[in-house]
Amino acid sequence: MTARTRRIALTVNGEAVSREVPVRQNLVDFLRHDLGFTGSHVGCEQGACGACTIVLDNETVRGCLVLAVQADGCEIRTIEGSDDLLSDLRRSFHALNALQCGFCTPGMLLSAQELLQANPAPSRQDIRDYLSGNFCRCTGYQAIVDAVAEVAARRPGGITS
């Protein structure tokens, strides 16, 4: 079975990219193995764990559920291209030990950022519910919730609890 390929052109972390890709390749594999953006992880390839979370045209998606060819013409942002946006979340995650092995962390950060954009003053349960698509096996989730809540309180328009 020769894998069929197609050429795609897209923007990844602000850079224009054009590549010939197998039509069956998913987006996260393309980002990781063809472009070297290994910050997005693969935990299930079943759309369930959230480790492969990336931002596609300003919305988080599961990189394992999108084919690379579907991203033709799209704008992609991965954890590697999110430095400015996430610096306060990163600081809180670090200070509060909201990660252990770090495998879930890039996905967690991108989901948390999306939540805070949509809802600058989330309750703890809001945070828990929003992050419920991101599996973490190491932490008790609590430090993650604490970190996101702390950032929410600090950002302009956020809650101060």
Partner 1 sequence: MSIGASVPRDRAKRLLLGRGNYVDDISLPRMLHLALVRSPYAHAHVGAIETREALALPGVIAVFTAEDLEGAVSSWRAEHKLFPAMAAPEQFALARDVVRWQGEAVAAVLANSRAEAEDGAERVSVDWDELPAITDANQALAPNAPVLHDDMSSNLAFETQVTAGDVNAAFADADHVVEEHFRFHRHSGISLEPRGIIAAFEPSESRLTVHQSHQTPHQQQDLYARLLGLPEHKVRVICPDVGGAFGLKHHLMADELVACAAARLLGRPVKYIADRLESFLADVHCRDHEVEARMAFSDTGEILGIQVDDLFNAGAYGQYPRSSIAEGNQISRLTGAPYRHQHYRADVRMAFLNKSILGHIRSVGHPIACAVAERLVDLGAETLGLDPIEIRRRNYLDGDDFPRTSSGGVEFEQLSFNGCLDRALEIVDMTQFRQEQTELRAQGIYRGIGVATFVELTAIGPEYYGEGGQHISAQETCLLRLEASGTVRCYTGATDQGQGIDTGIQQVVADALGVALADIEVISGDSALCPVGGGSWGSRGAALGGEAALRAATTLKRNILNIAASLLQKDPSDLSIDQGVVVDGRSGAAHMAVSEIARIGHFQPYSIPEGINADLTVTERYASRGRLFLAGNGLQIAIVDVDVDSGMVTPLRHVVVHDCGRILNPLLVQEQVRGGVVQGIGAALYEELRYDEDGHLLTGSFADYLVPMAGEMPDIEVAHIETPTKTSELGAKGAGEAGTAGAVGAILNAVNDAIRPFDATIAETPITPPRLLRALGRI
Host H or E run for residue 101: none
Residues 45-64 that bind ligand FES (CB under 6 A): 45, 47-52, 62, 64
Rounded to whole angstroms, the Cα distance separating 71 from 26 reads: 10
Stretch of 2-10, 12-20, 88-96, 131-139 contacting ligand FES, by CB under 6 A:
131-139
Measured in whole angstroms, how far is the alpha carbon of residue 1 from the centre of its chain?
33
9 contacts which partner out of ligand FES, partner 1, none, CB within 5 to 8 A by kind? none
Pick between residue 73 and residue 153 the one whose CB is nearest to partner 1: 153
Rounded to whole angstroms, the Cα distance separating 43 from 34 reads: 18
Spatial strand order of the sheet with 59-62 comes to 15-22, 5-12, 75-77, 53-56, 59-62
Please tell me whether residue 80 binds ligand FES under the rule CB under 6 A.
no
Q: Which of 99, 95, 106, 97 is nearest to 154 (CA)?
A: 95
Binding mask 59-98 for partner 1 (x = CB under 8 A): -------------------xxx--x------x--xxxxxx
State the residues that interact with partner 1 by CB under 8 A: 1-3, 22, 24-25, 32-33, 37-46, 48-49, 51, 78-80, 83, 90, 93-106, 109, 124-125, 127-129, 131-145
